[in-house]
Amino acid sequence: MTTFAEWCAGEGMPISYHHHMAAAIETEPELDLLMANSGEAQPLLFDAGHMAFAGGDVLRVIDKHHKRMIASDRVGAVIVASPDTTHAERALACLEAGKPVLCEKPLASSAVEALHVVHAEVAAQADPGRLHAPS
């Protein structure tokens, strides 16, 4: 699948894999197996409802595969509204993928971590005001 995804992207038709109910890849372990055996060129179009239907832990899947989710060309921007301790890591992953980020408070667990994210945003020449929601 990775080779096909690379070819499609090279032809200007980027694709993402979408897991689905009653499909070959439905459950959390099946999705984990696909992600472990496919490359970064194969983004994931995640559906929380389908994963919940299949009995998976939606938040755990997001924790494990968020980088593959934001890699999709279908993702134009990301809102980080995860547990506070994950904000900086996820904001940085989004910036590295070239995605604008709106992060709920707090931006990070420490001032040093927050500065790291702000510097990454400035380096990406984006609007630092998007990183942290106003009070």
Q: What is the pLDDT of residues 69-115, one digit of tens each?
A: 988 877 888 888 888 899 999 999 999 888 888 888 899 999 999 99
Q: What proportions of the chain, in percent to the nearest 5, are helix, strand and coil?
A: 50, 5, 45
Give residue 126's pLDDT: 56
CATH number for the 76-135 domain, one of 1.20.1440.230, 3.30.465.10, 1.20.120.420, 3.40.50.720?
Answer: 3.40.50.720
- Six token digits for residue 60: 């755990």
Domain residue extents for the chain? 1-69, 76-135
Q: pTM of the predicted model, to two decimals?
A: 0.72
Give residue 129's pLDDT: 55
Give residue 109's pLDDT: 93
| Alpha-carbon dihedral sign for residues 61, 64, 66, 67 | negative
Give residue 34's pLDDT: 95
Q: What is the mean pLDDT of residues 108-135?
A: 76
Q: How does the average pLDDT of the chain come out, rounded?
A: 88
| Alpha-carbon dihedral sign for residues 103, 104, 109, 114 | positive
Q: Is 93 helix (H, G, I), strand (E, B) or coil?
A: helix
